[in-house]
Amino acid sequence: MPDEVDRLVAAWQRERPDLDVRPLEMLSRVTRLAHHLDRARSTAFATHSLETWEFDVLAALRRAGPPYLLSPGQLVAQTLVTSGTMTHRLNRLEERGLVERLPDPSDRRGVRVRLTGRGRQRVDAALADLLDRERELLRGLSLAEQRALSSALRRLVAPFEVDG
């Protein structure tokens, strides 16, 4: 059954037969899937009164494991934002009682950011909701197809990853 990408590719093949438009067959679908995934994520997070960026910071802390503590620099590295942006985000999360700043025992000038109990509950609930929505997006693929897709996407993304 043809989809919108099939129609787009057919139109380009008709209008520009001199070009190999096969990359559009895959990457236009990846772009469309990313759009649907962004909407599913935004909806899942909004259900728990979180913005996507809030979830990203809280999730980084949650993944750190007990005592759910990271430096602002570690959070910057994991969320790929500037230190100024992270400071602003931490201020907002701290105002909401989702994180707290603590003195760094090894550096009097430094701080550590810790996920609060309230923040942990919020991020755990949002993650569970997100995973339900993501499973729904993948429902049309068998487990074997999901594994194959994951492997292929890993190979495509690898050259862009800084840490490999």
| Contact indicator for 102, 115 with CB cutoff of 8 Å | no
The residues near 96 (Cβ < 8 Å, ≥ 6 apart) are: none
Q: Is the pLDDT of residue 139 over 60?
A: yes
Contact 41, 35 (CB under 8 A): no
- Continuous segment of H or E residues that includes residue 114: strand 107-115
Question: What CATH number should be reported for the domain whose range is 49-159?
Answer: 1.10.10.10
pTM of structure: 0.83
Q: Each residue of 20-40: pLDDT tens digit?
A: 999 999 999 999 999 999 999
In the chain, where the domains are located: 49-159
Residues 90-125: pLDDT tens digits? 999 999 999 999 998 888 888 999 999 999 999 999
What is the per-residue pLDDT for 164? 44
pLDDT at 126: 96
Residue 163: per-residue pLDDT: 59
